[in-house]
Amino acid sequence: MKKINLNKLLERAREVRERAYAPYSRYHVGAALLSTSGKMYTGCNVENASYGLTVCAERNAIFKAISEGEREFVALAVVTANGGSPCGACRQVIFEFMNADAPVALADASLENIQSTTVGALLPEGFTPRKLREGQRRKNRKTTRS
């Protein structure tokens, strides 16, 4: 695994942000994701007139990577007009595929204002596959005792 270059991720996120389809919010977002294999995946937000069908840039990048066979990621960069942070749905999806200590860079479109954080700081006490399995085991134990 190569050294993580957050600046390169930020540049790619800024580039893909230009391709966003955001006619309703006019809030263009770009994301770049680095997998454990060293490959980079990008995504932009794609809005829809039926707002609930909109897909955020972060999830778009992750889903693209998943469709290419990746399952683990080591860094994420997100670029918006003002350095905005991922929404709650994106935070949960990010938490599913990245370690809590993985770096996340949030930047404005000029890349002059960059905030560094981690996946765990974005979603403290996030819901994990392990917590799901633990809950399923507890339910199964109760069912078998009845």
Just give the CATH number of 6-145. Answer: 3.40.140.10
Q: Cα dihedral sign for 133, 131, 117, 47?
A: positive
Which one from 58, 70, 72, 134 is the annotated catalytic residue? 58
**Nearest alpha-carbon partner for 29 in 67, 66, 61:** 61
Indicate if the pLDDT at residue 142 is higher than 70: no
Distance (Å, rounded) from C-alpha 49 to C-alpha 37?
36
Q: Is 125 a catalytic residue?
A: no
CA 32/CA 57 separation, integer angstroms: 9
pTM: 0.90
Tell me the average pLDDT across 97-111: 97
Q: Give 104's contacts (C-beta < 8 A, 6+ positions apart).
A: 75, 76, 77, 78, 94, 116, 117, 118, 119, 121, 122
Residue 59: pLDDT over 60: yes
Residue with tokens 């991720």: 9
pLDDT in tens, 2-44: 579 999 999 999 999 999 999 999 999 999 999 999 999 999 9
Question: Is pLDDT of 98 > 70?
Answer: yes
State residue 2's pLDDT score: 57
Q: Which helix (H) or strand (E) holds 84?
A: none
> For the residues 107-116, what does the mean pLDDT come to?
98
